[in-house]
Structure 1
Amino acid sequence: MPVSINSKTARDKLAPRREPYWSRIQTGLFIGYRKPEQGQGTWIARRRSDDGKQAYQSLGTFPGYDEAVKAANQWANAIDAGVSSKGMTVKAACEHYVKHLALHKGAASERDAEGRFKRLVYDAKIGKVDLSKLRTSDLTAWLAMQVERDEDDAEDEDDLRRAKDSANRNLASLKAALNLALRDRLVATDAGWKTVSKFRDVGRRRDAFLPAPQRKELVNACPADLQRLVTALLLTGARPGELANANVQHLNREQGTLALQGKTGFRVVTLSSAALSFFADCSKAKIANAPLLATEFGQRWNKDSWKKPFKAAAAAAKLPPTAVMYSLRHTAISEMIAAGMDSFVVARLAGTSTAMIDQHYGHLRHDKTRAKLDAVAMF
């Protein structure tokens, strides 16, 4: 019995099954919809040649029937025009692109693309995928895997931004290779990669600032060991990993400083009176090489040990979903700048550059300066 797949309402009523539900587009050309148990359904095209042989093409996901039909027609028209429909892998398409660059762009462009593909495509799962079977989900998964830290694990604004920016450049190179394959008739359609989008606003300042009431709620929601780590982050603006690496011997009570070792190397930071008192209490009855901050089991903190407890505490404190461990560093730096501290001093304390401070936090200094200017009567 024929079924309709033309509308979302009709497709939602279909029973999940592996065999696609087919609809004829024109003589010899069909569009099929595969309904899964869960998640979004996928589309597939079927074409019968004059000799009676059937050819199939996986089209991936589309928002609607019309878009899927358009992709099926593009595939069928390309086959009629002599485009190769199988036998070319993503790796082979990339190798084809590298040769093209060597001929038309020069050695530098060739080396850059070859390096990216060797690292991320040639030996990867996506490199073995046939172009005719490449799906949007293959590329989105490949893109996501390149970002080493997710929002919960990020210790630094620039860590996450650089990872996503690098992934965007890699995606651009891969898309260029796939588009060349399409232009050279090595694949029938670009449906598998055309709609894959790059990471947006990777240089945009974060908005995960926690005002004082939210900070208090978070601290109160944390278990005792995590509470000490959260407090330390708010008092210093350091990276979580730097505080996790700190030993008791790194605290100098006489000078009121704490030595930190992290991604930007070794530095000694000045502590506020409140921070000095807090760390002095944390170091009581501990040997010199013991962690200054430790879990309830006496172990050194790491991303795996603080991730879930922090998420639970943030949820209990009803913090916004954008709040992550990095938000504490962001909040501390924001408060330092808003209080009028010099960018150079804040950069040294936070272990970053003045350029980064000015880029991401300069608006706070300008707001404070503007408020002072507004208090000056000119007329």
Structure 2
Amino acid sequence: MATDLSKVGERERLKAQREPHWQRLRAGCFLGFRPSKRGGAGSWIARVYDEDSGKYRVKSLGDFGALAGNARFSAAKKEAEAVAELVEAGGEIRAKIETVADACRAYAASRPEAEARFVRYIYSDSLAKVKLDRLRRRHLAEWRKQLEKKPSLVSRRKEGEPKVRARAPSTVNRDMAVLRAALAKVLSPGAPNSEAAWQEALKSIPNANGRRTLYLDRGQRRTLLEQVDAEAAPFVRALCLLPLRPGAMAALTAGDFDKRTQELTIGKDKTGKPRRIRLPSDGAKLLSKQAAGKLPSAPLFMRSNGKAWNKESWKLPIAEAVAAAGLPREATAYTLRHSTITDLVSAGLPLLTIAQISGTSAEMIERHYGHLASDAAVKALAKLAL
């Protein structure tokens, strides 16, 4: 028997579940109702078939809790039909941004790293459900307090307890920065020194950005490559040749490399904006070999199981190679990026060019590597001395 959502009594008898209870309004247009597990008004959803894409479009309509129970169906039906008219006319459904979680999802739509942070620290927190028009400084202050107490995961072990450490101020700043950016897209700053000043609870911890001081020279990197296992060797060699973030390198596909022009497109990175770089001959040869015989969508650096590398899979082979090579045990995949950038700055390459290649800002390069640029200038002047 078809569900009749217009009857209050029948709605109250429906089981609370993830999938809404649907009622067909007309061909290609459905109205759904999801009962509240906590005894609330429940929520209404529109589902409309889009002939252009061949897919159903879904939009949340809210709970209509301000209306009497017998009036909610009519209001929800009217909204669903309006959505259907929009889709059928070729319009685009835009999700309502009502809560902190909504703002985060909208911001992270093209920013994978931001989405990963939101998954870890926002979506499962009570802050996610706070309405944006009711967001206050105390909500974010409480969230920040919990974040600062949360330990950082150093490594996941197959056996025993995971290895953790206290969360560093610089890590707290990075986690807060993405939330601050997401909220700034949809909220104006509140009046200073008031509860409405949500932005004040997310101020960065001053002087928290410590330098990555561990540097591996070219000889040490060659020794590392000699010790790393054959499966990880191409990936680690690429990290030694190009100043990319390990995650961005791992996300590359065969189609991202143009053998004819020797150009590489980096699409998945911290900035969220694709960029193209021209490769030196050694890098081009390595990537040509990795791309050979692969479909454009295949991982450029593929593991033996056919999957791309990730943080958990590259840790062990690099750690084992570091130990075998007798290098400082603190050396990681990110150390290789830092070392490559250090070499570029020391060689006198313009800081803006290095920033563009490595996918960061000239300000960050200046902040962390500016002293090396000064050293390079001193050496250049010394060569001019009579």
Over 3 Å counting, the alpha-carbon distance change for 1:259 and 1:215 in structure 2 is same
- Matched residues in 2 for 1:118 and 1:240: separation? 29
SS of 1:224's equivalent in the other structure is coil
Of residues 216, 227, 238, the one that matches 1:232 is 238
Residue of structure 1 in register with 2:271 after alignment: 264
> What is the distance in 2 between the residues matched to 1:365 and 1:322?
25
Tell me if 1:245 matches 2:251.
yes
Structure 1 segment 141-152 matched on structure 2, within 5 A: 143=148, 145=150, 147=152, 150=154
The 1-side partners of 2:265 and 2:176 are apart by 36
Shift of 1:321: 2.3
Q: Does 1:207 align with 2:213?
A: yes
Q: Could you tell me whether the CA contact under 8 Å between 1:246 and 1:292 is conserved in 2?
A: yes
Q: Quick one: structure 1 residues 167 and 280, their matched pair in 2 at CA, closer, same or farther if it must change by over 3 Å?
A: closer
CA contact (8 A) 1:226 1:306 kept: yes
* Alignment equivalent of 2:297, drawn from 279, 286, 289: 289
Is the aligned partner of 1:163 residue 2:176? no
Q: Deviations over 1:277-328 (max 9, x none)?
A: 1100111221221110011222111111111221111111111122111001
2:325 pairs with 1:317: yes
Alpha-carbon distance between aligned partners in 2 of 1:334 and 1:327, rounded to the nearest angstrom:
10
Distance 1:117 1:146, change over 3 A: farther
What SS does the aligned partner of 1:341 have?
Answer: coil
Tell me which amino acid in the other structure corresponds to 2:372: L
Q: 8 Å contact 1:250–1:259 — kept in the other structure? A: yes
Give distance in 2, aligned partners of 1:327 and 1:166.
19
In 2, the alpha carbon distance for the partners of 1:246 and 1:168 equals 27
Identity %: 30
Aligned to 2:294, the other structure's residue is in SS state coil
- Structure with the bigger RCO (C-alpha within 8 Å, sep 6+) is 1
Please give the per-residue CA displacement for 1:47-73, whole angstroms capped at 9, x wherever unaligned: xxxxxxxxxxxxxxxxxxxxxxxxxxx
Residue 66 of structure 1 is matched in structure 2 by: none
Query: Is the 2:319–2:329 contact (alpha carbons within 8 Å) kept by the matching residues of 1?
Result: no
Deviation at 1:167, TM superposition (A): 8.4
Provide Cα deviations, 1:138-159, integer angstroms capped at 9, x if missing partner: xxxx746254x6499xxxxxx9
| Equivalent AA in structure 2 for residue 230 of structure 1 | V
Q: Which has the larger radius of gyration?
A: 1
Q: TM-score with structure 1 length normalisation?
A: 0.51
1:375 CA drift (Å):
3.5
CA RMSD, Structure 1 to Structure 2 (Å): 2.9
Structure 1 residues 292 and 143, CA gap change in structure 2 (3 angstroms) = same
1:160 to 1:353, Cα distance in 2 relative to 1, 3 A: farther
1: CA distance, partners of 2:335 / 2:266: 19
How far apart, CA to CA, are the structure 1 residues paired with 2:313 and 2:175? 27
Q: Deviations over 1:258-291 (max 9, x none)?
A: 1112111211111111100110011122122111
Work out the CA distance in 1 between the residues paired with 2:175 and 2:258. Answer: 42
- Give the unaligned 5+ runs of structure 1: 1-109, 122-141, 153-158, 170-198
Return closer, same or farther for 1:337/1:257 CA change in 2, 3 Å cut-off: same
2:285 is matched with: 277
Supply the distance in 2 between the matched residues of 1:302 and 1:248 (Cα, whole angstroms).
17
Matched, 1:117 2:142: yes
Q: 1:118 to 1:248 in 2, by over 3 A?
A: closer
1:343 to 347, 351, 360: 351
Number of residues paired by the alignment? 213
CA distance in 1, matches of 2:259, 2:172: 41
Q: 1:329 aligns with which of 334, 337, 340?
A: 337
Amino acid at match of 2:259: R
**What are the Cα deviations for residues 108-167 of structure 1, in whole angstroms up to 9, with x where unaligned?**
xx933432214654xxxxxxxxxxxxxxxxxxxx746254x6499xxxxxx976424478
